Structure 1
Amino acid sequence: MQELHYNPLNPYEIRVIRLFTEADHPVHATGPLHCHILHVPLEDSYLVNSYNATKGLSRTWPVTVDNAFDKQSTFPRPPDYAQLFEHDLWERCFPFARTPEFPHLKVPERLRITKANRMATRWPRDQNIKHDRTWRYAWGDFVALSYVWGDPSVKREIFVDGVPVPVTASLEAALRELRNRVRIQEGFLIWADALCINQEDLDERAAQVARMKDIYRAAWQVVIWLGPEQHDSDLAIVTLRYMSLQLQHKGDMSIFYRRVRLNIVRLPFWQWQHTHTTLNIQKHALEAIYHLLARPYWRRLWIIQEVALGATNSPVLCGHSSIRLIDISNALQFIKGDAAALGQFIVMSARGWHKFVKRWDNAIGDTHQISEKPWERPLAIASLQDPGRQFSTIKSDIYDMLVLVSEANASDERDRVYGMLSLPQVAQKIQLIPDYNRTASETFVLFSANLHLSRNLNGLRLVNSAVPAIGTRYLKSMHFSRPRKPKFIHRHRVVHPGCNHDLPSWAICWSCPRNPAEPLRNVGTVSRLASTDSPSISGNILTIQGVIFDTISTLSAFHPTESDTSYPWNAPNPPTSPYGSHDATREALARTLIGNFEGSEDHGLDPYRAILDWRLWSSSIQGDIKNLFGLQNFYYRNKTLQLFRTWTLESLIRLPESTTPWLVPRTATYREVLLGARRLLRWRRLVTTNSGYLGLVPAATRAGDVIVLIPGCDTPLVLRAIANKEGKGKFSVVGEARIQWVMEDEVDRRLNEAGGTMDSISIV
């Protein structure tokens, strides 16, 4: 079989492909794909015109869902959007069928709205093509394709310069769709990494990876390919566009659902009010959004830089439908703003109420692939194009970028490092040239060393510490739907063994799965510590300046089925509370459990009072009982935890006047604080230090580990002293921690008491 031959690239050249379309010859309208590889110079000296004077009308890509407003309506609603709110016969007869809380009420197929009636959009042909315009470059212009490679074992055949070349099914589908798009028919060339880079030549591959920033910035447009049509993706795109318009013009959620309150019983001595939420929008439209957000594209590593370097009007193609990335970003912001209601409906519509909360009883648990909020990662990636927007979950700090990379998928682990080098947050701190002749371990150590020496030590927060074993089979007794401590635990299993690649504990390992604990968000800086001495590395020892703040003494179990029965671990002499009174200590506990609350406003209900509501720990909210990270399971495993000399966890949570409660009202604040506490407590321990400070630490933490504050790291770190003689005076990193201070300047006060000097800390 004839193989494709790549001619060597000059330092200033890139390869692009010219895809043959029906504009070249009618034979290319259907059938196998044919293309031709070109070498083109990517230098400013070859630019002949600006964007506005060239073909393409200033980077405008026609999409299927556009600003076709209905002028007769007070709200700019295109006619196609009305179908989102139509209801079939079954739903009109049985309004409860539109409520995700009742997933067993299936709509008969014969009564469903057909796809042909639901979707009437077609991608438009551009009426504004100016054939007399010139190209930006002397050789033409090109678009960069951002896509998922897909399963490498599933191949499709295309013809490159007359040679049959096997490519992944994902790339073949993307090129097949682009062949029908007006911009490609107009003559725009395409850059796709799988074809335009000789993947077998490691030196060329490294050189082209180093030029990714230049390639994507120079591209006329970055075209995003989510994949073929599936799970009503065309309906999802129409719905997202409608949400984007709703946010821009009204921002009103009531059009999507309405709340109905019914007084079932209304007597002077007893009142029973039922609250019911009815969806106005079609439930299958929300289900389609969920599946669109769950696509593998959003987990691909390289899209982080590809999207960040593209334009805010980048086209997003999915099957025959398309939308601008800015509209997806606006729609996800719209969903995030009402996560407690609209966001919950999206998850429940696809997974059902019984699967809304991920169960951990017989699985390792995956906090990344299946999230309660599947819009968070796509929103974070879309926000990279404009990090100054208020709704962005990405800040300017490099740590947020490291978290995104750690949760992404990559076929070559070294690409986790090389895929970040073009991003502004990384490029200004690290000067590293890609080299695929290095091993993965060498690449990780070199990247971590460069990062730490730049005085940014937030990478230490991503240490892969081990998670102890839990029982994955158990019998849990029940009494009036209130769980007790699980009994007869067996089949113990280690959830996360930690890094085993023989790297220093200060090096970020990208080969091991990230620690399953949810990253600590919105923590700010721990203090105004400033070190005059830069970190130094000698061999495998990282020497930094810091403050050894306190020692951990009391620890909770991190999971209700933790195999080690010695937890909760009570110190011999629990400290007194530095927070003061019983009420002040309760508030400190609440702030420890939910951190800086960012939930929805709900009739002025204080979230810190809501998280300490005894009903939330006893009867809770429907569905939380099944979750082993729920507050009930945490409470019954750790209620004897002696946090302070006179108070246990039980005495802080359950007040003496507490009585047998009714169910918790399913309001936005209660749902948000419950979810926030669950996400913080997952795979973490609630601890107190020798001085009585409350905190959350990694599951691998043990009594005697120290809390350390380091300039350049936004959270406290848990370090463990090396026990052997060779490691005397040295520490290993366990992970990041959250400490509830008595006052904001507590660390500075401690430092002043010590004469303003910091300790020299050696980490191996």
Structure 2
Amino acid sequence: MEHRPTSDNESTQRVATGRNWLDSALLQLQYGPWSYTILKICTSWDLVAAVGFNCCTFDLSTRTDFHLSVTGAASTSHLLHLIMSTYAYYDFIQGFPFVRTSWWHSRYVWIDAVCINQEDQVEKAEQVDCMRYIYSRATVVRVQIDPYMGEGTYGAASLIRKIAWFIYDFNPSSSELGTFFQWEKDSWNRWSALVDFFANPWFSRVWIIQEVVCGSPVRVTYGTEFINWYSMETAADALLQPACKDLLLHHARGAEAKKHATALQKIAHTKQLHHDNFAYAPYMHTDPDLRALFSVSLPSRVLPLSTLLSTYCRSQATDSRDKIYALLGLVIDSALSYPSIWPDYGQSLDKLMNLTTHHLISARSYMDIISFVGNGNATAHGEEHQLKSIQSWVANWAYPPLGMPLNGRLSSQSGRTFYKAATHFSHELKIEEDDKLSIRGKLFDYIIDVGPGDSSDGADIWSWERLIKKNPDGTVVLIADRIKKLLDHHDKSLELVSRLEKAKPRPQGDSDRIRECFWRTLVGDRSHSRRPAISEVGIMYDAWLAELRVLATSPSPQITAHVLRLFATWFEQLEYCALGRKICITNKGFMGMVPMRTRAGDLVALFHGAAVPFVIRQAFSADAEGRQHAVKSKGNTDVYEMVGECYMHGLMDGEGIGRPQTSDLLCFQ
């Protein structure tokens, strides 16, 4: 059953009227001599005049002692089910002292796992649409993080407090922080507890973004220990300092901790944007006239949906549709203030991806999310999980590409991209009646050969995690067989590009010049915040390759401090371009990194307004006798399929686009 309005005008009216009241469950609890008494379940309450209430969020997937399927509807059967489950509920609630209240006053609590009926698609959609209002009106949002796999919490909270105190009082440098963490690792057991805390799967959940950004204040309890949210952000920043890199990678869960600490930084940045632009956040205002005024006066596209989806594409959700639904309430965008999509769990995943891409095209954001378009990208979930029923030009948020998007920004505050392959022309695109997409662009070149690797084997060949095995004691060791496979993959890729008579960009050179172009191609000729890559990156590449050859000849390669530091730094560079892609050469003598499913004969296109080139493929269909024929558009032009974005060394600054008169409208299915 769909509850979606029939027109965009109805959608705008639905959102703009604001929410003075909510049809949502609110538990009224009274603490008695022996246990809590649930006085009633409020199902419709006034946002403006509501009594103070707490929001409590728990991840119940790790708990085996709590099996309530309670709904927000105030039906007798559901209320009876709640009362009959008192033992499980009281046992659950008693473990969290922050929800206790006096014997004389009730406490109102909204618990996501209890107050939303997960089995009713219509109710769930309505409640998800309300969550940003609930979080923003709550007296406090309380988050309970359970230790992962039964790990203890001892030491994590105290070390986070100590880190915050150390940074606030002494403002240490990166090297001093590294020394501090090394001392903690050698002297106490708290370092391992800190890594385990940030490696907790809770940080990867997409739903935490909304509760943290909208909720103020946010209080975190890890096991039974309270952790200040801002101290937690400070500890995450400290953990990502360059001097701490070796320590993190030497821990079995260090890579997860680093990834989650980075995600926490992104959430903190989003929260700050909402704090700075609270007047323009739609969920903060219930008066429709004020909301319309704020929307008109919004100075810029502060936080469009395209930015949110790109930033949090790695977040996890049990239902892939929630990767979009959980972010809709955070949009602050002058181009399209109210998204034309909203939660609807009766809608299929492929239809949602299609509608989201249509919305982003309407919001003039398609070129911002083009990194997630194409059917040739390798994903961390494997080929069998690809959505087969969506068009090649539709962005796939359910299974984003394994590699880092090439269409990235120089910084979170900058609108400029690293690359400018065709950004000096305005984009021109149109959705045709037969659901094909036409884009203004130019066919520039075609691929004559590709390097080793395919989507199912070797997509993550350039990753540090592939080379190591995690021991039960938290240490890691190198895997000799994978070291040899990585070296073989590298040598075959270098051999392929060595076939070029000359390497781009000019001047044409000898093998040393080709070798330089090769390592620059591997890293996308960039660093964290600048391009082109400095010459020291080439020195690092030579040192890494020499060490790799030594390790490949050893039957039991060892991780020394030198190897760890060198490999950690180099693999971080490879994440910018090589991860999830493979090498190729083109007919005009260019080398590049292309999606894993790229084949010889695929075309290289430059789209007006796009920061990077794109690999495309002519579309074919089979007739009744099984013969292949090229697909034609209504205008009798060739139809193509998008394979994915690519890096082409020597084409990333507009060298190949030419004049607008030489372009065509390319049609994609």
TM-score normalised per structure 2: 0.69
Q: Does 1:143 align with 2:70?
A: no
Instruction: State the SS of the aligned residue for 2:24.
Output: strand
Report the CA distance between 1:321 and its aligned residue: 1.0
Cα separation, partners in 2 of 1:279 and 1:415, compared to 1, 3 Å: closer
Alignment of 1:352-431 (within 5 A): 370=256, 373-387=259-273, 396=303, 398-399=305-306, 401-403=308-310, 405-424=312-331, 428=337, 430-431=339-340
- 1:616 equivalent in alignment to 2:544: yes
Q: Which moved more, 1:10-19 or 1:451-460?
A: 10-19
Give the drift of 1:431: 1.6
Cα distance in 2, alignment partners of residues 501 and 742 from structure 1: 31
- Rounded to whole Å, the distance in 2 between the matches of 1:331 and 1:468 is 33
8 Å CA contact 2:591, 2:649 repeated in 1:
yes
After TM superposition, the structure 1 = structure 2 runs for residues 323-334 of structure 1, keeping only pairs within 5 Å, are 323-334=227-238
- Please state if 1:206 is matched with 2:125: yes
Could you list the per-position Cα deviations for residues 555-585 of structure 1 after superposition, in whole angstroms to 9, with x for gaps in the alignment? 2213476999998767987555323254665
How far 1:241 moved relative to its partner?
2.3
Letter in 2 for 1:465: N
Instruction: Please state how far the C-alpha of 1:617 moved relative to its aligned partner.
Output: 0.7
Deviation at 1:692, TM superposition (A): 3.2
- Report the counterpart of residue 127 of structure 1 in structure 2: none
Shift of 1:667: 8.5
For the pair 1:499 / 2:386, whether they are aligned, the reply is yes
1:27 matched to 2:34: yes
Q: Which of 461, 472, 475 does residue 371 from structure 2 map onto?
A: 461
Given that 1:286 and 1:349 are in contact with CA atoms closer than 8 Å, whether structure 2 keeps it comes out as no
In the alignment, does 2:486 pair up with 1:579? no
Quote the offset at 1:333 in angstroms: 0.9
Q: 1:316 to 1:726 in 2, by over 3 A?
A: same
**Aligned-partner residue type, residue 329 of structure 1:** E
Q: How far is 1:453 from its partner?
A: 3.3
How far the C-alpha of 1:450 sits from its partner, in A, is 1.6
Does the CA-based 8 Å contact 1:34-1:161 persist in structure 2? no
Q: Is the CA contact 2:129–2:329 (under 8 Å) kept in the aligned structure 1?
A: yes
- What pairs with 1:325-724 in structure 2 (closer than 5 Å)? 325-338=229-242, 341-350=243-252, 370=256, 373-387=259-273, 396=303, 398-399=305-306, 401-403=308-310, 405-424=312-331, 428=337, 430-457=339-366, 458-463=368-373, 465=375, 495-497=382-384, 499-510=386-397, 513-520=399-406, 521-522=408-409, 524-526=418-420, 527-531=422-426, 533-558=428-453, 559=458, 574-580=501-507, 582=509, 586-595=515-524, 596-598=526-528, 606-613=535-542, 615-620=543-548, 665=562, 671-677=568-574, 680-711=577-608, 713-724=610-621
Q: Which residue of 2 aligns with 1:220?
A: 139
The one-letter amino acid of 1:308's match is: V
CA distance in 1, matches of 2:443, 2:203: 40
Query: Could you report, residue by residue, the CA deviation over 1:488-539 in whole angstroms, capped at 9, with x for unpaired residues?
Result: xxxxxx952462532211223455x444334445453534344364432423
Letter matched to residue 499 of structure 1 = Q
Question: Aligned in 2, Cα 1:401/1:709: closer, same or farther, shift over 3 Å?
Answer: farther
Structure 1 residues 379 and 743, CA gap change in structure 2 (3 angstroms) = closer
Contact 1:575 1:692 in 2 (8 A): yes
Q: Is the 8 A contact 2:350 2:387 kept in 1?
A: no
Work out the CA distance in 2 between the residues paired with 1:572 and 1:667.
33
Rounded to whole Å, the distance in 2 between the matches of 1:713 and 1:170 is: 55
Deviations 1:365-386 (CA, angstroms, capped at 9, x unpaired) = xxxxx57644222332343212
Q: Secondary structure at the match of 1:450?
A: helix
SS in 2 for 1:548: strand
How far, CA to CA, are the matches of 1:36 and 1:14 in structure 2?
15
Gaps of 5+ in 1: 1-9, 48-136, 260-276, 358-369, 390-394, 470-493, 631-662
Distance 2:554 2:84 in 1: 47
Deviation at 1:541, TM superposition (A): 0.9
Cα distance in 2 for partners of 1:468, 1:216 equals 36
Distance 1:317 1:687 in 2: 50
Q: 229, 245, 252: which is aligned to 2:165?
A: 245
Confirm or deny: 8 A CA contact 2:122 2:344 kept in the other structure: yes
- Separation in 1, partners of 2:430, 2:87: 48
2:208 alignment counterpart: 303
Contact persistence 2:613–2:648 (CA under 8 A): yes
Change (3 A) 1:418 1:177: same
Cα distance in 1, alignment partners of residues 84 and 452 from structure 2: 52
For normalisation by structure 1, the TM-score amounts to 0.62
- In structure 2, the residue corresponding to 1:378 is in which secondary structure? helix
- Structure 2 CA distance, aligned partners of 1:762 and 1:189? 56
| CA contact 1:505–1:763 (8 Å) conserved in 2 | yes
CA contact (8 A) 1:283 1:349 kept: no
Amino acid at match of 2:452: A
- Which secondary structure state, in structure 2, belongs to the residue aligned with residue 375 of structure 1? helix
1:737 Cα deviation after fit: 1.6
Cα 1:187–1:690 shift into 2, 3 Å? farther
Specify the code of the residue in structure 2 equivalent to 1:718.
V
Unpaired segments ≥5 residues, structure 2: 1-18, 71-77, 276-301, 410-416, 462-484, 622-628, 633-637
Aligned equivalents of 2:193, 2:550: Cα separation in 1: 25
Rg comparison, structure with higher value: 1
The answer to whether the 8 A contact 1:148-1:296 is kept is no
- 1:138-157 per-residue CA deviation (whole Å, 9 max, x = no partner) reads x4112323332415976346
Q: CA deviation at 1:398?
A: 4.6
Report the CA distance shift for 1:403/1:502 in structure 2 as closer, same or farther (over 3 A): same
1:361-418 Cα shifts (integer Å, max 9, x gaps): xxxxxxxxx57644222332343212599xxxxx956555324554333333332332
Query: Following the alignment from structure 2 to structure 1, what is the Cα–Cα distance between the partners of residues 565 and 213?
Result: 33
1:720–1:733: 8 Å Cα contact kept in structure 2?
yes
CA distance in 1, matches of 2:452, 2:85: 50
Considering Cα pairs closer than 8 Å and 6+ residues apart, tell me whether 1 or 2 has the greater RCO. Answer: 2
Give the distance between the partners of 2:28 and 2:21, measured in 1 at CA. Answer: 23
User: Are the equivalent residues in 1 in contact too, given 2:540–2:566 (CA < 8 A)?
Assistant: no
Deviation at 1:189, TM superposition (A): 2.1
Secondary structure at the aligned position of 1:746 is classed as coil
Looking at structure 2, the residues matched to 327 and 175 of structure 1 have their Cα atoms a distance apart, in angstroms, of 26
Render the CA deviation track for 1:166-185: whole Å, top value 9, x for unaligned.
Answer: 99999988744444456798
State the one-letter code of the partner of 2:582: R
Q: For the residues of structure 1 that align with 2:252 and 2:564, how far apart are their CA atoms? A: 22
Q: Which has the higher helix share?
A: 2
Map Cα deviations across residues 111-166 of structure 1 (whole Å, 9 max, x no partner): xxxxxxxxxxxxxxxxxxxxxxxxxx3x4112323332415976346998564369
Residues 157 and 167 in structure 1, CA contact (< 8 A), matched pair in contact too: yes
Asked if 2 retains the 8 angstrom alpha-carbon contact of 1:594 and 1:673, the reply is no
Match of 1:164?
82
Q: What letter is aligned with 1:699?
A: M
RMSD: 4.5
Could you tell me which residue of structure 2 aligns to residue 155 of structure 1? Answer: 66
